[in-house]
Homo-oligomer: A and B are copies of this chain.
Amino acid sequence: MQCVPFKLVSPNSRTYSKAYDRHKIRVSSKQRALNVLLVVGDCVLVGLQPILVYMSKVDGKFNFSPLSVNFLIEAAKVLFAIVMLLFQARHQKVGEKPLLSISTFVQAARNNVLLAVPALLYAINNYLKFIMQLYFNPATVKMLSNLKVLVIAVLLKFIMRRRFSIIQWEALALLLIGISVNQLRSLPEGTSAMGLPVATGAYIYTLIFVTVPSMASVFNEYAMKSQYDTSIYLQNVFLYGYGAIFNFLAILGTVVVKGPSSFNILEGHSKATMLLIFNNAAQGILSSFFFKYADTILKKYSSTVATIFTGIASAALFGHTLTINFMLGISIVFISMHQFFSPLAKVKDEQQNGITELRDVPEKLKYVLSLSLSHTHTHTLTPSGQSVRNSFG
């Protein structure tokens, strides 16, 4: 499996942390390389997932409790984060704030208490997934969860004050449509847009099912970036520490309700399931890099590209034929991706920035420049140009 590098331009965003803004200006040249690295890493980990799932099954099903897996994944993430923190602390330069001092830890913990919010939302989401499968068939759940892309964009607009151009909104709609077209064949025959098998109250579950993970991602991005000066390794320790606590509380709750027989965290695991847990933990750690150094939308595109390459790889390896749905779907996704990250899609925004930066230009010239920068009819340019010559020349 390979991930071809594609043009990535970091999406435009508004001020919410001065440290993050300083970072943006400093490393904007390195941003593309980092983005490509993140996407390639994501592709590899997501690509390994179905292989590990296949290896983890015994007689076609899992032997372990799904409840325990969530806790073990969170615990593995904390372990990863601590190992990376120790590694980072050993390579600190002289004069940098010590990563492992108690005062640093306490101060960072106080500053990053906001990370408990996404951790709680993620924990809730893990249980929602099970509930949803009682109400919808898996293909419908998949189809509905595509709506997350648009919910995330709306949340980014209001929480992160990010601005999207019309072309970018359309690109996100196309991403949603492209993924749906790819999944069309898996829907039960004869399902119509108006005839989705929705029970009363299922609409509310759908709304919650789509909104909770979207809010988790966006709050995660917000919390990560708003404390930009805190080391990401420390932030990971907090985020996944909270996650492990919430998941452990859920297990304790189950023990109280169902009795101690359900307290079987380590039952039914093999080497393959351990690899599966480690792969999921690595995906989690990687996603926090996405949220801090890139953004939630890039993460979404990355997951989609990973799914596409997994599809192509499995077709190549196991000799499946690629359906027309798949071909049409990935065409839409790639057009969407190109449009979302195209500089053309945010031309208006850049030009507005351009105008605000003309501080040292004479008033008359400013007027001409603003005329030329705005999208008015180009014929108005020549008379303005002439009047400028009359004044200056």
Contact = CB atoms under 8 A, between A and B. Distances in A.
Nearest to A391: B392
A392 B389 contact: no
A255 interface: no
Give the most central of A195, A328, A388: most B CB within 10 Å: A328
Contacts of A389: 360-362, 365
Interface in A168-196: 170, 173-174, 177, 180-181, 184, 187, 191-195
A350 to B, nearest CB: 6
Interface in A373-393: 373, 375, 378-379, 381-382, 385-386, 388-389, 392-393
Interface string A333-373: 00100110011100110110110011111100100110011
Contacts of A359: 382
B177 A332 contact: yes
Taking chain A's interface residues, is the majority helix, strand, or loop, or is none over half, making it mixed?
helix
A37 interface: no
B193 A324 contact: yes
Number of this chain's copies in the assembly equals 2
A238 interface: no
Interface residues of A, number: 60
A327 interface: yes
A177 B365 contact: no
Interface in A123-176: 165-167, 170, 173-174
Which 5 residue pairs are nearest across A and B when measured between Cβ atoms? Answer: A361-B385, A192-B321, A354-B378, A392-B392, A193-B327
Interface of A: 165-167, 170, 173-174, 177, 180-181, 184, 187, 191-195, 321-328, 331-332, 335, 338-339, 342-344, 347-348, 350-351, 353-354, 357-362, 365, 368-369, 372-373, 375, 378-379, 381-382, 385-386, 388-389, 392-393
